[in-house]
Amino acid sequence: MLLKYLCTFFKICHNEGINTMNLKQRSSGVLLHISSLPSPYGIGTLGKEAYQFVDFLKDCHVKIWQMLPLNVTSYGDSPYQSPSSNGLNYYFIDLRVLVEKGLLTQEEVEACDMGDNPQRVNYGKLFNNRIPLLKLAFSRFDKKEKAFVDFVNKGEYHDFAFFMTLKSLNGFAPWYQWEDKYRNYTPLLEIEMRQKHSDLYLFYQWTQYEFLLEFNQLKQYVHDNGIVLLGDMPLYLAFDSVEAYKYPQLFLFDEKHNPTVVAGVPPDYFSVDGQLWGNPIYDWDYMKKTGYQWFNERIEKNLKVFDLLRIDHFRGFSSYFTIPFGMTNARIGQWVKGPGMDFFKDKTDLPIIAEDLGDLDEDVYTLLRESTYPGMKVLEFAFDGDKDNPHKPTNSTENFCCYTGTHDNMPLRGYLEQLDEQALSSYRNDLKEQCKLYDVDYRGDDVVSLCLTTCSMAYASPCRFAVLPLQDLLALGANTRMNLPSSLSEDNWSYRAKKEDFSEDLKQFIQSNIERYHR
């Protein structure tokens, strides 16, 4: 019933022009997370620079702004390892808006140390200094404001606020390290925490309230300028999440509330140990018995925030790799059949893009066809001398989204700079051949020219959508990589763009490609 309503809702929205782009037309986008926007206060926000970026996209005739998950980050700073499936990242609240509302002074904002590197987010300083600043703002907020009271009573972010209250009381340690009176969830504990620590609980509710006020205003501006938001929903949740803490029935846990198996991917050409993600695995049998209610509601919440939704690790719905809990790598594990089309049978009209990368089999391809969702083609993988490479434009069709790379890949220039001469020669030769077929100007053999030519190839490809990371459009190198999977580093998730990156030259490059290739 829920998904039937959602499908009808999106048809109505599109007919009424709420989503201003025809999702069946060729179009282009830019991938840049909120955190990567320029700002004077340590991290990109929902404030002035976000609006300036929308203006830039409009001037370029770009129709899609792709973001990464907007979830609160925790250990490892990853939006894919959040303490809540729907808790929104309060670091993105714009401090200048709080000054305008009289909740902070400019002097208080300026005195807060949030990092001094305009090209890197310093999450440690944000945690230690920005959160107290937000609490100061909340102390001046009228908690009896009717809109806020109604927001709290609606309960949509209750689990997030309750869990973050407990985390605060336990020094932000993961829930499975808390003392017994907190570690073992009960409804009575929930009532006690909300009453005994109401100010802390309401603070976390307010972060969501303020975030949504700012985000919804930005989203309206995005729509007013003929652009849509493409978001990202991780398949898995963190073990240290309110869902794993409060709803263990959703996961394959033992009687001690420990995972029996965890998620990852097996060894491949790129990694001899595979990738050990460590996320708990869903109990899909339980999910099916409930009509996939929890997951349906999760998709509904995401599609209230975004216009289009990329589902990360889509192949996990076909089959997923399980690793015994306690292993230190992903060498030992097995593939298990997922819910498949039974999960998606009532969702085929939803505006979803499937992240279908990785080790795929025929079952995944079948699921893609039956769901009708666009899959992904990544040109960084395409030009290796193999004429049957599925990422080559000649092996692509309309129902795909073409990328030069993703947030998990090395930026294209960095990738090219680390290739040996033989692999680089194959890349050049393959790219030249594809350029001839798609009327793309081959700019030259140096890595910057190869990057820009590859960007043009993405626009020229037969895929319906072409979404390019800003780093590739600027031909930036390895030091601008967004994330190295299965690693912990201050470089992960911390890349930030500079104001001067959004130049007239870049605008003209994007415009000319969009016009030439009818996007």
DSSP assigned state of 111: T
Cα 57 to Cα 70: distance, rounded to the nearest angstrom: 20
Give, to the nearest 10 degrees, the angle between helix 447-460 and helix 421-438: 40
Check the CA dihedral 63-67-69-70 and report its sign. Answer: negative
Question: Do residues 99 and 107 lie in contact, with contact meaning Cβ atoms separated by under 8 Å?
Answer: no
Cα 36 to Cα 420: distance, rounded to the nearest angstrom: 31
Query: Side-chain half-sphere of 374: how many Cα atoms within 13 Å?
Result: 26
- Please state the φ and ψ torsions of residue 74, each to the nearest 5 degrees: -140, -130
Give, to the nearest 10 degrees, the angle between helix 158-169 and helix 187-196: 80
Burial class (CB in 10 A: 0-12, 13-18, 19+), 191: exposed
Query: Comparing C-alpha atoms, which of 213, 205, 248, 238 is closest to residue 87?
Result: 205
Q: Could you tell me how far CA 456 lies from the centroid of its own chain?
A: 24
| Enzyme catalytic residues | 312, 355, 408
Token pair of 333 as six digits: 């594990």
Q: Which residues contact 430 (CB under 8 A, 6 or more apart)?
A: 382, 383, 384, 385, 392
Q: Which residues pair with 334 in a beta bridge?
A: 322
Burial class (CB in 10 A: 0-12, 13-18, 19+), 15: exposed
Type of residue at 6: L
At 121 the three-state DSSP class reads coil
Cα 465 to Cα 28: distance, rounded to the nearest angstrom: 6
For 3, 136, 320, 390, the CA distances from 280, given in Å and listed in that order, are 25, 36, 12, 31
Cα 402 to Cα 517: distance, rounded to the nearest angstrom: 13
The 3-class SS string of 189-222 reads HHHHHHHHCHHHHHHHHHHHHHHHHHHHHHHHHH
Question: Do residues 78 and 483 lie in contact, with contact meaning Cβ atoms separated by under 8 Å?
Answer: yes
**Radius of gyration of the CA atoms of the chain, in A:** 23
**DSSP assignment of 73-99:** P-GGG-TTS-S-SS-B-GGGS-HHHHH
